[in-house]
Structure 1
Amino acid sequence: MKAGNNIEHEVIVLVHSKSLVTEFINNFEIREYPLVKTSWIRRVKFEYFTSKKLSKQIKPDLWFSLHDMTPNVDCKTQVVYCHNPSPFYKLTFKEKLLDIKFALFNAFYKYLYQINIKRNRFVIVQQNWLRDEFIKLFGVNTIVAYPLINNDFSFSKEVIENDVSKFSIFYPSFPRIFKNFEVLLEAGKILSTYRNDFEIIVTIRGDENKYAISLFERYKQYDCIKFVGKLTRNQVYNYYNEVACLAFPSKLETWGLPISEFKQFNKPILAANLPYAKETVGEYGCVKFFDSTNAYELAEYLSKLIDGNLEFDRYKTLVPAAPFASNWAQLFDIILQQKDINT
């Protein structure tokens, strides 16, 4: 592979399944470790013991860790990509009971991040707010690197479950506690007391976990709320194509991919008034930011949007300070320019 001033680089990719990287089989050396994802004990063993042995065999100039943990390795330069935002969310006691797995991540992930983190030349994050948190917690050098968004995604037409006679609001996400479905569903409940010309579509079946069960039990009686369950990527894009607007009330994201995907359709977006959402939205003429804890405000904005008289927000995201990469090609250019990699 050529990169960084046209210098040849040998790339060895360590994965738990080669099926993840079939398109790169002929370009890179792929090594498979299928047991790594079967338990946290095996993951820890791989990161802190197996990787040490591998680094002594491979003698890499650069070790790029893609999944949050900084392994114990011998190399000239290490970088780690951190994309789990769970340590930066303030859980209530009730939320802990509804999502124990996330509560554990919330309690312990910052300590997992901390292990060996100072070994890295750079910690790579997706947004500026995460950079600020990592600098505050760990005092590390960071690169903000925006994810690659596929703007050329094509989808095949399918019949989907939306009422074309009604104004449809879509929120595609898995039911995790921080996804904040309740503010949208409560807004729908409020709105249904004085109008019935809309529907809210959420990708919840109602039995995925305690949080999903609680949401389904609280809102299943409202005809305006449609629980359609998990969708394929193609089905999600069919909904993007057919619905009137996207709602994105999540309280915590490293990016907020549905926002970027939906922008391609040039339709209204109602997003949480939080730093991650504003950075993800960027410059867009059809967005309204709302208080992620205020269902009445969201209901008011939805009603105005349905009536065609909602005033959209004008917001312009500032470009993050250097080092910053707007895509992964730029990210590798920044990393590979380090003198001790190419010498």
Structure 2
Amino acid sequence: MFKIVISGVNLTDSGKLSVLQDCLNALIKIKEHTELDITVLVHNASLVDEYKDHIKILAFPDIKSSWIKRVKFEYFYSKKLSLQLKPDLWFGLHDMTANVVCPYQVVYCHNSAAFYDVDYKNFFTDIKFTLFNLFYKYLYRINIKRNRYVIIQQIWLRKIFEDLYDVKTIVAYPIREIFATTSGPESIAKLDLHFNVPTFFYPSFPRVYKNYEVLFDAVKILNKKGVQCQVVVTLDGSENNYAKKIADTYRHIPNIKFIGLQDRQSINELYKQSHCLVFPSKLESWGLPISEFKEFNKPMLIARLPYADETVGNYNEVSYFPINDASKLAVLMEQFINGTIQYDGNSALQPADPFFNNWDSLMTFLTDRKNY
């Protein structure tokens, strides 16, 4: 029996929660033919209620209320917990390396905030992100050499981690199959969207580096020219100060649809109904909407940055634009609408081993003792 603890107490929403869900889905498949004892540590048991017949769930609802409590949990309480649970592997899914006692330890690092050049005019707009940017590089360093493997998502992050921390890394792509969870159109009926016009979709939690401004400025250019389209974004202004600033600035534009955060089923249905993905983000450890949207074989307009090439992989119907060039993006959007766009296309990069291109293969590797 291989005993594994999955620590995900800080994963509660958006793409972060999908990391926990995809990890558990892979483990449950492995459990069908391998003896596994799985314990998951979460913020709230309801987040993983669908897995309760297959795993043990321990909830810690107070951890996210302050950074002091998070630090106490990772560096003090987790040691006590590891002595009680006696796992073979402690797998931390949220960047910080816990102080635990067990034979094997692995950490999954997917917060790239520390490696972003902050625009300090927005220092107080998203203070949480700014603090991450200032301090996460040092939080990563604490206990990092305790890990047998450090899991990162792309080649550019592998180089940073190996240079800064001198650790052994695994590149693991967070790719998942999504068709099975696609819901019917009733999941988005309440959103008052109209797919009879060309619809561009940008699903992302609002952070200062998500670069909504370049997309919205491109819409303004198209509107001045009388080009009809609909742009759907998953914020409504209530999420944080940055979201409020963006919504207050652009809400008067009628064909920008501020629909707020959505569950995974609704996001999948919006992928299905939308005509083109726009992804202008300035920073990603992966860029999950890109790989998800690819499964629908639809066109994408993506910011030209290193993360994008690796996430897009082999794909023909993709074109790139400079991250701050609203005029270029507007040109691409108009060309898509009128059917004259000439796609750039993209070819996959191949990371050096150890490398896994999905959760199933990663977790198969991590639950096999011979790999330690």
Q: Same fold (TM over 0.5)?
A: yes
Secondary structure class of the residue paired with 2:232: strand
**Partner residue, 1:156:** 184
Match of 1:44 among 71, 78, 89: 71
**Partner residue, 1:121:** 148
CA–CA distance in structure 2, aligned partners of residues 340 and 172 of structure 1: 37
After alignment, is 149-158 or 78-87 more displaced? 149-158
CA–CA distance in structure 1, aligned partners of residues 42 and 239 of structure 2: 28
Deviations 1:268-302 (A, max 9, x none): 11011112222221112211111111111111111
Using the TM superposition, give the Cα deviation of residue 42 of structure 1 relative to its aligned residue in structure 2, in angstroms: 1.8
Q: Does the 8 Å CA contact 1:162/1:168 hold for their aligned counterparts?
A: no
> Percent sequence identity over matched residues?
50
Using the TM superposition, give the Cα deviation of residue 61 of structure 1 relative to its aligned residue in structure 2, in angstroms: 2.8
After alignment, is 33-42 or 306-315 more displaced? 33-42
Secondary structure class of the residue paired with 1:143: strand
Match of 1:287 among 315, 318, 321: 318
Using the TM superposition, give the Cα deviation of residue 185 of structure 1 relative to its aligned residue in structure 2, in angstroms: 0.5
Using the TM superposition, give the Cα deviation of residue 191 of structure 1 relative to its aligned residue in structure 2, in angstroms: 1.9
Kindly report which structure 2 residues correspond to 1:1-343, keeping only aligned pairs within 5 A, or say none: 8-152=35-179, 153-158=181-186, 159=189, 160-337=191-368, 339=370
In structure 2, the CA distance between the partners of 1:34 and 1:227, relative to structure 1 (3 Å rule), is: closer
After alignment, is 148-157 or 172-181 more displaced? 148-157
Q: Does the 8 Å CA contact 2:176/2:359 hold for their aligned counterparts?
A: no
CA–CA distance in structure 2, aligned partners of residues 337 and 76 of structure 1: 13
Q: Does the 8 Å CA contact 2:176/2:358 hold for their aligned counterparts?
A: no
Using the TM superposition, give the Cα deviation of residue 65 of structure 1 relative to its aligned residue in structure 2, in angstroms: 1.3
Using the TM superposition, give the Cα deviation of residue 10 of structure 1 relative to its aligned residue in structure 2, in angstroms: 3.4
CA–CA distance in structure 2, aligned partners of residues 330 and 232 of structure 1: 26
Using the TM superposition, give the Cα deviation of residue 88 of structure 1 relative to its aligned residue in structure 2, in angstroms: 1.1
* Structure (1 or 2) with the greater helix fraction: 2
In structure 2, the CA distance between the partners of 1:192 and 1:29, relative to structure 1 (3 Å rule), is: closer
Using the TM superposition, give the Cα deviation of residue 226 of structure 1 relative to its aligned residue in structure 2, in angstroms: 2.6
After alignment, is 124-133 or 56-65 more displaced? 56-65
CA–CA distance in structure 2, aligned partners of residues 150 and 195 of structure 1: 38
Secondary structure class of the residue paired with 2:150: strand
Deviations 1:179-228 (A, max 9, x none): 11001001111222212322222222234332223223332333332323
In structure 2, the CA distance between the partners of 1:164 and 1:43, relative to structure 1 (3 Å rule), is: closer
Using the TM superposition, give the Cα deviation of residue 315 of structure 1 relative to its aligned residue in structure 2, in angstroms: 1.1
Using the TM superposition, give the Cα deviation of residue 338 of structure 1 relative to its aligned residue in structure 2, in angstroms: 5.1
CA–CA distance in structure 2, aligned partners of residues 29 and 72 of structure 1: 21
In structure 2, the CA distance between the partners of 1:106 and 1:317, relative to structure 1 (3 Å rule), is: same
Q: Does the 8 Å CA contact 2:174/2:288 hold for their aligned counterparts?
A: no
RMSD, aligned CA: 2.3
CA–CA distance in structure 2, aligned partners of residues 227 and 7 of structure 1: 45
CA–CA distance in structure 2, aligned partners of residues 278 and 340 of structure 1: 30
CA–CA distance in structure 1, aligned partners of residues 150 and 45 of structure 2: 26
Question: Which runs of no fewer than 5 residues in structure 1 stay unpaired?
Answer: none
CA–CA distance in structure 2, aligned partners of residues 42 and 249 of structure 1: 34
Q: Does the 8 Å CA contact 2:122/2:208 hold for their aligned counterparts?
A: yes
CA–CA distance in structure 2, aligned partners of residues 64 and 58 of structure 1: 13
After alignment, is 105-114 or 165-174 more displaced? 165-174
Using the TM superposition, give the Cα deviation of residue 319 of structure 1 relative to its aligned residue in structure 2, in angstroms: 1.9
In structure 2, the CA distance between the partners of 1:110 and 1:166, relative to structure 1 (3 Å rule), is: same
Secondary structure class of the residue paired with 1:30: strand
Q: Does the 8 Å CA contact 1:196/1:224 hold for their aligned counterparts?
A: no
Q: Does the 8 Å CA contact 2:182/2:269 hold for their aligned counterparts?
A: no
Question: Which runs of no fewer than 5 residues in structure 2 stay unpaired?
Answer: 3-29
CA–CA distance in structure 1, aligned partners of residues 249 and 34 of structure 2: 59
Secondary structure class of the residue paired with 2:257: strand
Higher Cα Rg: structure 1 or 2? 1
After alignment, is 50-59 or 251-260 more displaced? 50-59
Using the TM superposition, give the Cα deviation of residue 7 of structure 1 relative to its aligned residue in structure 2, in angstroms: 6.6
Secondary structure class of the residue paired with 1:64: strand
TM-score, reference length from structure 2: 0.84
